[in-house]
């Protein structure tokens, strides 16, 4: 999926009319909760509660079920994210190869902790259980691009280049 268009910020209400095509194309179909949530997140960048409520109302899926799905899967976000999403692997191989030191370097460099977004909304840091790149440990992804064999120094360089728009 492409990066979300900024149709909402955390200080304003979501334009729920943007959900209409998604809800119309899934009308009467059961079991499409994940697909609907993915499309909604692509629109808003995250899943505000009012969006979940609208989806629940139209699809007749219980709000608790939608919230459960959205909070169970790491692909879904309940809070706005930064322009660049950092996903840092904390799987066994990455952990053994120093992911904790890499995480500390990210947190120090950006002055945020896991699950937080920088004040300028440029970066969000999320740790994940596994990115499936065990032979390249420790690993992170920024906006889907994989960075491997990380060290504290290399991750700081990557973040600075990303902030300056030099990566990708």
Choice between 40 and 81, residue whose per-residue pLDDT is larger: 40
| pLDDT (mean) for 152-156 | 98
CB 106 within 8 A of CB 155: yes
Does the predicted TM-score (pTM) go above 0.85?
A: no
Instruction: Pick the closest to residue 131 from 159, 150, 151 (CA basis).
Output: 150
Residue pLDDT, tens place only, 124-143: 999 999 999 999 999 999 99
Q: Who contacts 168 (Cβ-Cβ below 8 Å, separation ≥6)?
A: 143, 145, 162
Residue pLDDT, tens place only, 67-94: 999 999 878 989 888 999 999 999 999 9
Residue 4: pLDDT band with limits 50, 70, 90 = very low
Q: How far is CA 40 from the centre of its chain?
A: 13
Tell me what the pLDDT averaged over the chain comes to: 89
Copy the structure tokens of residue 23.
């809800």
Instruction: Classify domain 84-163 at the CATH superfamily level.
Output: Glutaredoxin (3.40.30.10)
Q: What is the pLDDT of residue 26?
A: 83
Domain ranges of the chain: 16-72, 84-163
112: left (phi over 0), alpha (psi -120 to 50) or beta: beta
């Amino acid at each position: 999926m492409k990066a979300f268009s900024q149709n909402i910020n955390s200080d304003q209400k979501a334009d729920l009319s943007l959900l209409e095509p998604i809800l119309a194309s899934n009308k009467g179909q059961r079991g499409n909760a994940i697909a609907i949530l993915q499309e909604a997140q692509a629109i808003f960048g995250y899943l505000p509660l009012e969006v979940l409520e609208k989806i629940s109302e139209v699809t007749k899926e219980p709000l608790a079920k939608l919230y459960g799905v959205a909070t169970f899967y790491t692909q879904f976000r309940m809070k706005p994210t930064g322009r660049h999403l950092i996903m840092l692997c904390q799987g066994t191989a990455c952990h053994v190869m120093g992911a904790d030191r890499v995480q500390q370097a990210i947190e120090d460099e950006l002055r945020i902790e896991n699950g937080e977004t920088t004040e300028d909304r440029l970066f969000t840091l999320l740790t994940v259980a596994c990115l499936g790149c065990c032979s390249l440990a420790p690993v992170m992804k920024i906006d889907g691009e994989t960075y491997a064999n990380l060290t504290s120094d290399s991750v700081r360089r990557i973040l600075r280049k990303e902030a300056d728009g030099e990566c990708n």
